[in-house]
């Protein structure tokens, strides 16, 4: 049996123009009070996932979704995945401060509404205030079809970089250490999921 290898993934440096990156960071800090504890399935479970999230990224929703929809075909080709047509884009803004993490999981485990689609491609856009005041928060990507945790790829949360991988890939967010515990010093990320249509939309 060939050795297990991590699921395919790529990184896209400088995903946003510097001006947009700066505007997104400023907007995020200005809207701190809108963030709420992240939920897993139907409730908050900080043993599995600890983070603050915001589901509406305001003026950045349409430009971010459009940029992802425009570029995704090249990402799919680079990873050697079968092509698909995007039926929708789902976004979430997450803040990971001291002690934040997300245990190993699949993005396809989240059940969406009756729109007849599911997550096909996951992307995580990293940004934070400089100088960087946190450590950890790496993305670990595991091989498909095995519970073995000894084989994985590590993606560092690099400024203005997008990490892309198939939504069926098992992955986790490693624990963040942020001594100041200041929201502004968090590891921020826009989580982006590109959907593919799987059945007719329900009424």
User: Measuring CA to CA, how many Å separate 158 from each of 96, 124, 128, 198?
Assistant: 14, 11, 9, 34
| pLDDT number for residue 110 | 66
CA distance 81 to 179: 40
pTM of this structure = 0.94
Taking residues 154-166, what's their average pLDDT? 99
Of 114, 63, 53, the residue nearest 89 (C-alpha): 63
Domain ranges of the chain: 10-197
Condensed to tens digits (0 to 9), the pLDDT of residues 32-74 reads 999 999 998 879 999 999 999 999 999 999 999 999 999 999 9
CA distance 122 to 167: 5
Q: What is the DSSP letter of 107?
A: G
Residue 134, pLDDT above cutoff 80: yes
Q: At the topology level of CATH, where does 10-197 sit? A: Jelly Rolls (2.60.120)
Using a pLDDT cut of 90, give the percent of the chain over it.
86
Residue 111, pLDDT above cutoff 60: no
């Amino acid at each position: 049996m060939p050795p297990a290898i991590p699921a395919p993934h790529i990184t896209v440096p400088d995903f946003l123009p510097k001006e947009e990156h700066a505007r997104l960071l400023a907007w995020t800090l200005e809207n701190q009070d809108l963030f709420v504890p992240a939920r897993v399935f139907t409730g908050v479970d900080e043993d599995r996932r600890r983070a603050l999230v915001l589901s509406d990224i305001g003026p950045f929703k349409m430009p971010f979704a459009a940029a992802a929809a425009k570029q995704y075909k090249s990402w799919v080709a680079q990873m050697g995945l079968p092509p698909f047509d995007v039926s929708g884009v789902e976004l979430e803004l997450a803040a990971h401060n001291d002690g934040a993490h997300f245990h190993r999981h699949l993005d396809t485990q989240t059940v969406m509404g009756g729109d007849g689609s599911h997550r096909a491609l996951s992307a995580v856009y990293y940004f934070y205030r400089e100088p960087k005041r946190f450590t950890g928060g790496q993305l670990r990507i595991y091989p498909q079809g095995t519970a073995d945790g000894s084989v994985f790829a590590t993606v560092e949360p690099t400024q203005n970089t997008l990490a892309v991988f198939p939504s069926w890939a098992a992955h986790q967010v490693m624990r963040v250490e942020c001594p100041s515990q200041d929201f502004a010093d968090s590891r921020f990320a826009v989580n982006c999921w590109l959907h593919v249509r799987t059945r007719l939309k329900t009424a």
